[in-house]
Amino acid sequence: MKFTADHEWIRIEGDLATVGITTHARDQLGDVVYVGLPEVGATVAQGDAISVVESVKAASDVYAPLSGEIVEINEALNGAPEQVSADPQGEGWFFKIRLSEPAQLEALLDEAAYQASVG
């Protein structure tokens, strides 16, 4: 698993990456009440704001951690955004992206570096 400084996590499986927000981000947001997901088929660049998560406290953008094409979204979040609150780094994933520039993985944080950045 890799992480961004913007509090997204990335799980790589071949040329696909599953993306969501970290437990730390969830803790800062509080109870999630809405998730706006990107369109399947959208081509995104690393750093693009492509999703939004709203909680009882705030609304925050979710950024593309890597460049590529959105190939799947977590449809379950449309009817149950609380899954993000319950399991942010598991069932509360947001989208899957097919990587177009795998070298971008080098710039992501490992878990120890991410924890140090938020600790």
- CATH code for the domain of 96: 2.40.50.100
Q: Considering the domain boundaries, does residue 116 fall inside one?
A: no
Q: Considering the domain boundaries, does residue 118 fall inside one?
A: no
Q: Considering the domain boundaries, does residue 104 fall inside one?
A: yes
Range of the domain at 43: 2-109
With a cut of 90, say whether residue 119 has pLDDT above it: no
Q: Considering the domain boundaries, does residue 67 fall inside one?
A: yes
Residue 66: predicted pLDDT: 96
Mean pLDDT of the chain: 95
Q: Considering the domain boundaries, does residue 114 fall inside one?
A: no
With a cut of 90, say whether residue 112 has pLDDT above it: yes
Report d(CA 89, CA 24) in Å as an integer: 10
Q: Considering the domain boundaries, does residue 21 fall inside one?
A: yes
Q: Which strands form 68-73's sheet, in the order they lie side by side?
A: 2-3, 8-13, 16-21, 95-99, 68-73, 43-44
User: How many domains does the chain divide into?
Assistant: 1
78-106: per-residue pLDDT in tens? 999 999 999 999 999 999 999 999 999 99
